[in-house]
Amino acid sequence: MTNEIKPPLWILLELTHKCPLECSYCYNQLDFTNTKDAMSKADWFRVMDEARDMGAVQLGISGGEPLLNKDLVEIVEYANNKKFYTNLITSGVGAPKGIVKKLKEAGLKTVQLGIQSHDRNTMTLITNNKNSYDEKIAFAKEVKEAGLQLIINTCITRQNIHQVGEIIEFADELEGNYLEIANIQYYGWALKNINALLPTQEQLDEAKRVTDSYRSKEKAMKVFFVVPDYFADRPKACMNGWGTTFLTINPDGVALPCNTANTLPLEFPNVKEFSIEQIWNESHAFNYFRGDSWMNPTCASCDEKEKDFGGCRCQAFALTGDMNEADPVCSKSDFHHVVTDKVAESLGTTDAKIWYRNRKNSLLLS
């Protein structure tokens, strides 16, 4: 496997980890509150300068909830002036009045809006926020009125998978350009809540059938169905390969090859101390999983290693305690039983409690 370092193409600025929602499937690590908002507007500008100079072209702006950052409009405007294609990834909740129009004028190209259900009660259950339904609908309407492209993302769990047909119709009514039906990956709060969230194989098959039925009608809205990990026997090529395409900057300035990489026992560099070029090309953490020298015999001898790169490192560490292990989703992994055992345990649990990120039932206080 080649160890050639190509420049990053897609940069994600996580402006804050603050969020008005407490989604049961949130990928943020359980101690997410320890990540402080330490990046100034000038810091974000410098990151964009350096990333663009390396050849990056796509810029995602996310969180937490990026609408909570007071410099958001200026950050979008600066990115647009640098010729980035900008995508705002948002819950739409807590949006300042008139913000969408300002973002459009600043050069924003696309909004990716998370909508958990067409049903108010289901959305409240998943987000733990009683205002989320009304605010999301209002935000979606503002996006369309501003002439922005609207991508709707719906994360699928046991609570909403039976609603896939209605969710597709709802997204269509909101004039979404694209709808992504995403079977969640089990990191962070999603892994903590897996016994309450994981659907059955039969439910997944039915959701896929409903999605395919809509697609066959050749509607204007495109619908994508992201297949789940836990019912597969081969892992996904996580992030298109470690340190090949994607670069995430956390609110504290820590640079990561993927959103959850800071759960691994590696020391990741900070953009306040190093340039993007140094981080991408020279840092130990970004070079660690490039190529195949890190692989254990299971992955190193596999004829599919050029396709999946051993799977997800964060998932391997979360489920086996060893970040160098094969992704346990893979049936060739010595730890594949961990996944099948989790599936069996989850599907055998009918009354699992949902843990939210609030102080009353957070793991941080338990």
Does 314 belong to an annotated binding site?
no
Does 23 belong to an annotated binding site?
yes
Residues 174 and 185: their CA atoms lie apart, in Å, by 26
Q: Residue 105: CB partners within 8 Å, gap ≥ 6?
A: none
Question: Angle at the Cα of 39 (from 33 to 40), degrees rounded to 5?
Answer: 135
Q: Residue 63: CB partners within 8 Å, gap ≥ 6?
A: 14, 15, 16, 17, 18, 19, 69, 89, 90, 251
Confidence of residue 364 (pLDDT cuts 50, 70, 90): very low
340: part of which helix (H) or strand (E)? helix 336-347
pLDDT surpasses 80 at 3: no
Six token digits for residue 92: 């739409």
Confidence of residue 350 (pLDDT cuts 50, 70, 90): confident
> Crossing angle for the helix pair 120-127 and 132-145, nearest 10 degrees?
100
pLDDT surpasses 60 at 360: no
pLDDT at 287: 97
In 3D space, the residue among 132, 119, 99, 121 whose CA is nearest the CA of residue 21 turns out to be 132
Question: What domains can be seen in the chain, in order of their start residue?
Answer: 6-365 (3.20.20.70)
Cα Rg of the chain (Å, integer): 20
Residue 297 identity: P
Confidence of residue 361 (pLDDT cuts 50, 70, 90): very low
User: What does the pLDDT average to over 196-208?
Assistant: 96
* Dihedral in degrees, nearest 10, Cα atoms 89, 239, 222, 162: -80
Q: 37-75: string of b/e by CB count within 10 Å (b at 16+)?
A: bebeeeebbbbbebbbebebebbbbbbbbbbbbeebbeb
Backbone angles phi, psi at 90, to 5 degrees: -145, 160
Residues 188 and 265: their CA atoms lie apart, in Å, by 15
pLDDT tens per residue across span 291-342: 999 999 999 999 999 999 999 999 999 999 999 999 999 999 999 999 999 9
pLDDT tens per residue across span 239-279: 899 999 999 999 999 999 999 999 999 999 999 999 999 99
User: What does the pLDDT average to over 74-98?
Assistant: 97
pLDDT at 362: 41
In 3D space, the residue among 340, 321, 316 whose CA is nearest the CA of residue 233 turns out to be 340
pLDDT tens per residue across span 98-153: 999 999 999 999 999 999 999 999 999 999 999 999 999 999 999 999 999 999 99
Confidence of residue 2 (pLDDT cuts 50, 70, 90): low
pLDDT at 366: 32
Whole-prediction pTM: 0.94
Residue with tokens 């992201």: 226
